[in-house]
Structure 1
Amino acid sequence: MSGLTLTIDTDAWRAHQRAVVERTPGIIPVAKGNGYGFGLARLAEQAQALGVRTLAVGVPGEVAAVRDHFDGDIVILQPWRPFDSRAVELARDPRVISTVSRLDDLEVLGNLGGDVRPRVVLEVLTSMRRHGLATTDLAGVEAASGMVEIEGWTIHLPLHSDATEAEARALASRAVDAFRASVWLSHVPTATAQAIGRELGIQEPLETRLRIGTDLWLGRRSAYATTATVLDLHEVSRGERVGYHQHRCPGDGWVVVVAGGTANGVGMEAPTSGSTMRSKAISVATGALEAAGRALSPYTLDGKKRMFLEPPHMQSSMVFLPKGSTPPEVGDQVPVEMRMTTALFDEIVAARTA
């Protein structure tokens, strides 16, 4: 192994996915962006092996990356817009389901022409306030139902809470009253989705489906590991200048050059809300470190996370290991904590079994 490496215990990883699918009838796996670190093609292959009938991608450009690896329906989560030429072309594909969040766009889709009626899911506006039809627009869907194939309603909710479940029930009821179709949900428990289906059923439960990404692919953390190769090692003295920016070493020790940099997503973090005292304290502490030219790296050396000597480079990073520690050897693999939704690995390998 070399570079930044993702090692997968494939048996454990796949066992977790099977368990999630078995307890989630009608599941819609989500494969978007960087494929949660595993890659879009690999996730599409896994979805095919799991026997699911629908796979979700984020944007039109991702359809090409999965369609040769998955033979079911592909739903595009980004709402359809008439100015996106790729989205317009894909709307004519019988395997593709477009998400519609505006009545004007639904009318345009219905008048595209061609041999295939576009397949759509209709997004309902939630307290997320991202995309969706307002409840006042739901009544207008019936008139367009003859021009498109409505596969269901999709309701993208905030992260799970008691308020989220109540919102899911209320919006699903209003949507189904406007046009009877299955309900696709996110961020609610399976039991809640099934209960909503029973509540909305007349003679039998209405089908509800759950979109799941993170819990499906990343839900068993012990099934994969991320490591980096030690590329070089240099002993240094306190005050010695190193790196592009010639920062002074904070003490005697070693410069450890490790694989992984900005091109791999190293050092990239999503903004946080800072909603708790602990998270605010961490923000203050890390901000002070960065102001002093120091930042904690995601690399673990001799049992502890160590400081960057300067911001990560494109494909490598320079980390300081203080004297008194045991330095690694060139070629060693060291643990690195990666945010999987932004990670791009140099190598992905299956774990060796005994």
Structure 2
Amino acid sequence: MTGVTIHLDEARWQEHLATVLADTPALVPVVKGHGYGFGLVRLAAESRRIGVDTIAVGMASEVGVVSGPFSGDVVVLQPYEPADNLARTLTKDPHVLTTVSRLDDLRGLAAQGHRPRVLVEVQTSMRRHGLLPEELGQAAALLDDVTFEGWSIHLPLRQESRDEEAGRLARAAVGARPGTLWLSHLPADHVRRLGEELGVPVRARVGTRLWLGDAKGRAVTATVLDVHPVRKGERAGYRGRVVPGAGWVVVVAGGTSHGVGLEAPTSASTWRQRATALATGSLGAAGRALSPFTLDGRKRWFLEPPHMQSSQVFLPAGATPPAVGDEVPVELRLTIATPDAVIMGPTRG
């Protein structure tokens, strides 16, 4: 296979999935977007294999993709929007749970008469979606006219105040109307403890920790497409850049369409992280960027920004160049990367 490939140790991956399943109360796998690099269909099929009764997708349009390999219930995490025709249609599907984050939308669903299955989202300090605590009483008054499936609480990642916030919002929600708590970004033991404290069922939604939690069980490689010797002062690339010295221009599969060169912003919450971001930005401003490709044991510099489906990387003289067709390691963040293939088998580096 020519391109960017995830080599996944299937037995080890499935052992990891089983461990998370055993540790997590009423696990709800999150199966959304590009499927964490593995694809929605594969993750839906794995969810069926491990025996969960419910998965969560990001958008209404993803329900149809996962409903073939997975026949259980599907939560749509994106809040209900009445103008979305597909979202309105899915409220009549007995296997779909619709998330509602606004009182007016809840009123509209309550007035439909067919009692759609509804999760009511509570706004957290993320300030993304959800009802404010003072609105929960008004929401509770509408719940007899829908099939109320519980309260959705999507917490921020920061840990210092997350547990306190989870408890405060869960108590407010259950105080307005007892119901199942659907929680994201809360450790399994905290989810369990909160359910026991409030005497209600709990569901733990898990995405990254489930699908990508065992990094040593996989490797990502890219195929070498061409290798060209160059001399100091010669030019190469779309922009005709002067190569930094004698060596080789190595053309490697993997470009912006795969997620190469793309980076999800980080919080840079420590001084060290900020210094690293500043140094990286300065190098970028100077036209230098370290690639995620490892050639002859080290990550090497991009010759220029990655192309759509390939990248040009400079390998200096003194290193050992790869051969065309070799596979070299590439470090990608799979939450934003799209490989060409996933191969089940022993990992390769």
TM-score, reference length from structure 1: 0.96
Partner of 1:166: 164
Q: Quote the sequence identity (%).
A: 55
Counterpart residue number, 1:121: 119
Task: Pick from 187, 193, 209 the counterpart of residue 185 of structure 2.
Answer: 187
| Structure-1 residue corresponding to 2:71 | 71
**Aligned equivalent of 2:129:** 131
Letter in 1 for 2:34: N
The correspondence of residues 212-227 of structure 1 with structure 2, limited to 5 A, is 212-227=206-221
Where does structure 2 lack aligned partners over 5 or more consecutive residues?
Answer: none
Contact 1:160 1:188 in 2 (8 A): no
Distance 2:202 2:213 in 1: 22
Q: Partner residue of 2:240?
A: 246
Distance in 2 (CA, whole Å) between partners of 1:191 and 1:288 is 43
2:304 is the alignment partner of 1:306 = no
Q: Which of the residues 280, 289, 292 maps onto 1:286?
A: 280
Tell me which residue corresponds to 2:337.
Answer: 343
C-alpha contact 1:160 1:187 (8 A) present in aligned 2: no
Q: Which amino acid aligns with 1:52?
A: V
Cα contact 2:290–2:302 (8 A) shared by 1? yes
1:60 match: 60
Supply the AA of the counterpart residue of 1:261: G
| Contact in 2 for aligned 1:79/1:131 (Cα 8 Å) | yes
RMSD across aligned C-alpha pairs, in angstroms? Answer: 1.1
Residues 36-65 of structure 1, C-alpha deviation per residue, up to 9 Å, x if partnerless? 000000000000001001100001111111
SS of residue in 1 equivalent to 2:65: helix
Asked if the contact 1:141–1:179 (Cα under 8 Å) also holds between the matched residues in 2, the reply is no
Residues in 2 aligned to 1:174 and 1:275: alpha-carbon distance in whole angstroms: 31
TM-score, normalisation: structure 2? 0.97
- 1:196 is aligned with what amino acid? L
Which stretch has the larger CA shift, 103-112 or 210-219?
103-112
Corresponding residue for residue 328 of structure 1: 322
- On the 8 A contact 1:122/1:154 being kept in 2, the answer is yes
* Structure 2 CA distance for aligned equivalents of residues 160 and 185 of structure 1: 15
Partner in structure 1 of residue 155 of structure 2? 157
Which runs of 4 or more aligned residues in structure 1 lie more than 3 Å from their structure 2 counterparts after TM superposition? none
CA distance in 2, matches of 1:43, 1:319: 33
Could you list the runs of 5+ residues in structure 1 that have no partner in the other structure?
none
Question: Helix, strand or coil for the counterpart of 1:37?
Answer: coil
1:194–1:208 CA contact under 8 A, matched in 2: yes
Partner Cα separation in structure 1 for residue 268 and residue 44 of structure 2: 35
Does 2:309 match 1:315?
yes
Give the distance between the partners of 2:230 and 2:112, measured in 1 at CA.
67
In the TM superposition, what whole-angstrom CA distance separates every residue of 1:61-98 from its partner, at most 9, and x where no partner exists?
11111010101100000000111111111111110001
Q: Contact (CA 8 Å) 1:261, 1:314: kept in 2 or not?
A: yes
Matched with 1:86 is 86
After alignment, is 22-31 or 276-285 more displaced?
276-285
What pairs up with 1:268-287 in 2 under 5 angstroms? 268-287=262-281
Structure 1 position 209, deviation (Å): 1.2
Does the 8 A contact of 2:264 with 2:336 survive in 1? no
